[in-house]
Structure 1
Amino acid sequence: MSDLVQAHPSGGYILDEMFVGMTAEKHVEITEARIVQFAEASDDFNPVHMDETYAAKTAYRGRIAHGLLSASIGSAVVGTMLPGAGAIFLSQTLSFQKPVRIGDVLTARVTVAEIDPESARVVLKAQGLVGEEVVMDGEALVRVPRRRRPAKD
Structure 2
Amino acid sequence: MVELVQQHPSGGYILEELRPGMAAEKIIQATEERIRRFAEASDDFNPVHLDEAFAAKTAYRGRIAHGLLSASFGSAVVGTILPGAGSIYVSQTLKFHLPVRVDDTVVIRITVVEVEQEQARVRLNCEGFVDGKLIMDGIAVVRVPRRRKPSAR
Q: How does 1:37-56 map to 2 (within 5 A)?
A: 37-56=37-56
Deviation >4 Å, runs of 4+: none
**CA–CA distance in 2 between the matches of 1:19 and 1:131?**
29
Map of 2:21 onto structure 1: 21
**CA–CA distance in 2 between the matches of 1:16 and 1:131?**
35
Q: How does 1:4-153 map to 2 (within 5 A)?
A: 4-153=4-153
Q: Residue 48 of structure 1 aligns to a residue in which SS? A: helix
**CA–CA distance in 1 between the matches of 2:88 and 2:33?**
28
**CA–CA distance in 1 between the matches of 2:86 and 2:145?**
6
**CA–CA distance in 1 between the matches of 2:131 and 2:5?**
20
2:2 maps to amino acid: S
Q: Residue 58 of structure 1 aligns to a residue in which SS? A: coil
Deviation at 1:132, TM superposition (A): 1.1
Deviation at 1:29, TM superposition (A): 1.1
1:46 maps to amino acid: N
1:88 maps to amino acid: I
**CA–CA distance in 2 between the matches of 1:132 and 1:111?**
17
Q: Residue 110 of structure 2 aligns to a residue in which SS? A: strand
Q: How many residues align?
A: 153
Output one character per residue of 1:78-122: Cα deviation in whole Å (capped at 9) or x when no partner: 000000011010000000000000121001110000111111110
**CA–CA distance in 2 between the matches of 1:136 and 1:25?**
14
Considering only aligned residues, what root-mean-square deviation do their CA atoms show, in Å?
Answer: 0.6
Q: Residue 93 of structure 2 aligns to a residue in which SS? A: strand
**CA–CA distance in 1 between the matches of 2:66 and 2:109?**
18
How high is the TM-score relative to the length of structure 2? 0.98
How high is the TM-score relative to the length of structure 1? 0.98
Which blocks of at least 5 consecutive residues in structure 2 are unaligned?
none
Q: Percent identity?
A: 65
**CA–CA distance in 1 between the matches of 2:135 and 2:106?**
9
